[in-house]
Amino acid sequence: MVEEFREDMLKVCSEWEVAKVNEHKVVTLSNVTDMDGFQELMTSPAVVEWDTANNTVDVIYSLEQMG
């Protein structure tokens, strides 16, 4: 999915990594540089349509670096 939205991701993230957990789960770590833009992307009709077509639920956490 991330590759399908690569150009959009480049606008809101400086980098990201995707790890395949199993056939039904991946974990993506992203350095989001534009949180409002990221939220807009993740709720866009294209992403919602992709999620629906692939029976996907996005669970997103925000972390802050310590120290």
Cα distances (angstroms) measured from residue 23 to each of 3, 15, 58: 17, 24, 16
Cα distances (angstroms) measured from residue 49 to each of 1, 29, 57, 63: 12, 22, 12, 27
pTM of the model: 0.81
- Cβ atoms of 12 and 41 within 8 Å: the answer is yes
> Which pLDDT tens digits describe the chain residue by residue (67 residues)?
667 888 999 999 999 999 999 988 889 999 999 999 999 999 999 999 999 998 989 999 999 889 8
CB proximity list for 25: less than 8 A, separation 6 or greater: none
